[in-house]
Structures are given as C-alpha cells and as structure tokens.
Amino acid sequence: ICQQVCPHNQNLSPHKEENFLLNERLRTMNKEDWKNLTPEEFDQLFEASPLQRSGYRGILRNLKALEKKKQ
C-alpha cells in the first residue's frame, strides 16, 4: 500500500533494466515445478540472487510452510 500511495511513485513508466526482469522460467513455474525443484535448478534460477542467502533448504522450508497455511 505504501508504494501505491507514495507521491514519488506516481506517473512512473516501467523500467527497462534487464537485471531486474523476472527469469522466464520463474514466470512460468507452477506448484508442481516448485515442489520438484532440484538444488541444481535452484542454483541456476537464483544465481546472484538474494534468495541464495536462504538457500535451497530455506526455500523448501518456506514452500512447506505455505502448504500448511493453505490447509
């Protein structure tokens, strides 16, 4: 909400910075893709990403927590 109402964010055009664009593979991943994500795929998808800090096991832990929350 803060970003939506901030006056500095009004009338901005979309960025064209390629480093911030979402990886096409990530854009098309579904629930099963996330469940079957291998450590190698994780490393490829999140190379040089802040998500490397949480690591593969951290992502799996978060996915499991989301599953529990939805039940």
| Global confidence as pTM | 0.66
Query: Pick the residue with more confidence: 9 or 42?
Result: 42
Using DSSP, state whether 12 is helix, strand or coil. coil
Using DSSP, state whether 14 is helix, strand or coil. coil
pLDDT for 4 beyond 90: no
Residues 62-67: contacts with CB within 8 Å, 24+ apart?
63/34, 63/35
pLDDT classification of 15: cutoffs 50, 70, 90: confident
Phi-psi category of 18—alpha, beta or left, where left has phi over 0 and alpha has psi -120 to 50?
Answer: alpha
pLDDT for 33 beyond 90: yes
pLDDT (0 to 100) of residue 10: 86
- In angstroms, rounded to a whole number, what is the distance separating the alpha carbons of residues 64 and 13? 37
pLDDT classification of 67: cutoffs 50, 70, 90: confident
